[in-house]
């Protein structure tokens, strides 16, 4: 029986999910081959279809949960940068010149492999333009 594990990996996004799916399929395959009675072939087919539907629902739920989580992380990062910029202006009277300054002085941390922050300063008294973009859609 051929199982497209690489396609499942792209949808699920983690090796743990692949191992879990592989184990479930192997147990299911073993369980179905314990009974050699041909009368139960319709029951086996129905069981296999139900199992496949459940797995597809599970994979889509994992995918959409991860996608929503990235959106919340992006929103949180944008709010944290805005908060640090505002705090810097309130305490020093000017906006930070670089994003690196915010990271060093105010302790801003974020996943640089997942997000790219575009920080543009036009003047010391003008608020900077901050744009957060997602580099990788999923892990």
Average pLDDT over residues 101-107: 93
Beta bridge partners of 119: 130
Of 4 and 96, the one with more pLDDT = 96
pLDDT band at 64 (very low <50, low <70, confident <90, very high): confident
Return the half-sphere exposure (C-beta side, CA atoms, 13 A cut-off) of residue 31. Answer: 11
What percent of the chain clears pLDDT 90, i.e. is strictly above it?
37
45, 44, 22, 42: which is closest to 34 by C-alpha? Answer: 44
Is it the case that residue 114 has pLDDT exceeding 80? yes
Confidence of residue 99 (pLDDT cuts 50, 70, 90): very high
Helices (H), 1-130: 5-12, 15-34, 41-92, 99-106
Which sequence spans correspond to the domains of the chain?
5-67, 73-134
Q: How confident is the model over 82-111, as a mean pLDDT?
A: 93
The pTM of the whole model exceeds 0.75: no
Give the pLDDT score at 115. Answer: 92
Q: Are 94 and 77 in contact (CB under 8 A)?
A: no
Residue 12's pLDDT is what? 52
The candidate with the shortest Cα–Cα distance to 55, out of 6, 16, 12, is 12
Q: What pLDDT does 91 receive?
A: 93
- Mean pLDDT, rounded, for 29-56: 73
38-49 mean pLDDT: 74
């Amino acid at each position: 029986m051929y199982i497209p594990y690489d396609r499942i990996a792209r949808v699920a996004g983690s090796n743990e999910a692949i191992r879990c799916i592989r184990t479930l399929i192997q147990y299911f395959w073993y369980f179905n081959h314990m009974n050699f009675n041909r009368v139960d072939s319709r029951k086996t087919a129905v069981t296999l279809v139900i199992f496949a539907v459940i797995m597809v629902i599970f994979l889509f739920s994992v995918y959409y949960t991860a996608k929503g989580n990235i959106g919340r992380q992006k929103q949180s990062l944008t709010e944290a940068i805005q908060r640090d910029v505002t705090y810097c202006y309130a305490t020093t009277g000017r906006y930070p010149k670089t994003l690196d300054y915010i990271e060093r002085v105010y302790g801003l941390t974020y996943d640089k492999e997942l997000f790219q922050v575009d920080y543009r300063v036009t003047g010391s008294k003008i608020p900077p333009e901050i744009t957060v973009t997602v580099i990788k859609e999923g892990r």
